[in-house]
Amino acid sequence: MRGEPEDVRPESQGPPGAPGSGRAGVLIVEDQPELLRALRINLRARQYDVLTARTGREALAVAASHPPDAVILDLGLPDIDGTEVIVELRRWSKAPIIVLSGRTSPGDKIGALDVGADDYVTKPFAMAELLARLRAALRRDDGAAGLSTPHQATIGRWLINLTSHQVTRTATDSAPAAGPGPSPHPGSAGGGGPDAGSSGGSSAGALGESSAGSSAGAEETLRLTPTEWRILEILLQRPGQLVGSAQLLTGVWGPGYSQRTNYLRFHMARLRRKLEDNPARPRHLLTEPGMGYRYQP
């Protein structure tokens, strides 16, 4: 069965790349015909403008003539390697690239992320997961291109303000009848010891674990270290997105530290102990084994 010539044709109903108005254009690069077909059907059903390519060179040609808003890219292609496609695309395109590959070794994943891929889905995969990753990648891209990077985020019951560097307990759970916004005046809660994390400054262990019992309805705050803030700033501004270990290490500690994954393990464990309801089963600060970390809102 020969290829369909209309594969390389955007079914445009508006300019791709115009957030909000047009449909997002997605380039699928995959040499397995059945998988390519399944992806095309699923994406078209969800109103994406789909372009396809079966080789690396074709992908680069299609991307050049119809710049996509996102790329789903198989690594094992018949001509040039998928990582080479990433490198070439990244010379001019900032469109998110989601790698789709049967290669499971951490080296392959890290290699793809290091040259500019945004996310990595291992075959076999669930279509729903791939679609969710695609939505997240496009959302993030919209945010980066336009209006606002988020300045606050929630992790479980904690509201994290990246501008003021404050962590406060959200009013949603166990607070009797407070308004939605955490109001920073301490008057209403004279009962227990509301200043668990903020008073002395010398007590290194005042991290919230100890204050969990003081449920006087008081607004609790949590202290984070400068390193923990830098980690959160990188992760929380990319909700739903995989951040590679090397990227995170370089962002926090600087160039030359990209291999020190033990630093990340240590600090991520501490962040989970402070912020996750159940640090053993984190729901927001997720590890992607062999690749990096993801903030799941």
Give contact residues for Ca ion (rule: CB under 5 A).
31, 74, 76
Three-state secondary-structure class, residue 27:
strand
Residues in a beta bridge with 159: 154, 168
C-beta closer to Ca ion: residue 31 or 114? 31
Please tell me the distance from the alpha carbon of residue 270 to that of residue 42, in angstroms, as a whole number: 40
Cβ 100 to Ca ion shortest distance, Å: 9
Please tell me the distance from the alpha carbon of residue 4 to that of residue 272, in angstroms, as a whole number: 50
Query: Hunting for tokens 């102990």 — which residue is that?
Result: 273
CA 248-251-253 angle, 5° bins: 100
Cβ 113 to Ca ion shortest distance, Å: 19
Can you give the length of the chain in residues?
Answer: 297
Cβ 55 to Ca ion shortest distance, Å: 10
Is 8:62 a contact under the CB 8 Å cutoff? yes
State the angle between helix axes of 106-114 and 82-90 in degrees (0 to 180), rounded to the nearest 10. 20
Please tell me the distance from the alpha carbon of residue 111 to that of residue 118, in angstroms, as a whole number: 12
C-beta closer to Ca ion: residue 35 or 269? 35
C-beta closer to Ca ion: residue 51 or 275? 51
DSSP 78: S
C-beta closer to Ca ion: residue 7 or 31? 31
Cβ 32 to Ca ion shortest distance, Å: 6
C-beta closer to Ca ion: residue 76 or 290? 76
C-beta closer to Ca ion: residue 31 or 81? 31
Tell me phi and psi for residue 261, to 5 degrees: -65, -20
Cβ 74 to Ca ion shortest distance, Å: 4
C-beta closer to Ca ion: residue 14 or 33? 33
Sheet holding 152-155, edge to edge: 152-155, 158-161, 166-169, 221-222
Please tell me the distance from the alpha carbon of residue 69 to that of residue 15, in angstroms, as a whole number: 10
Cβ 31 to Ca ion shortest distance, Å: 5
Cβ 101 to Ca ion shortest distance, Å: 8
CB count in 10 Å sphere of residue 76: 15
Residue sitting closest to Ca ion (CB): 76
| Through-space distance between the first and last CA atoms of the chain, rounded to whole angstroms | 44
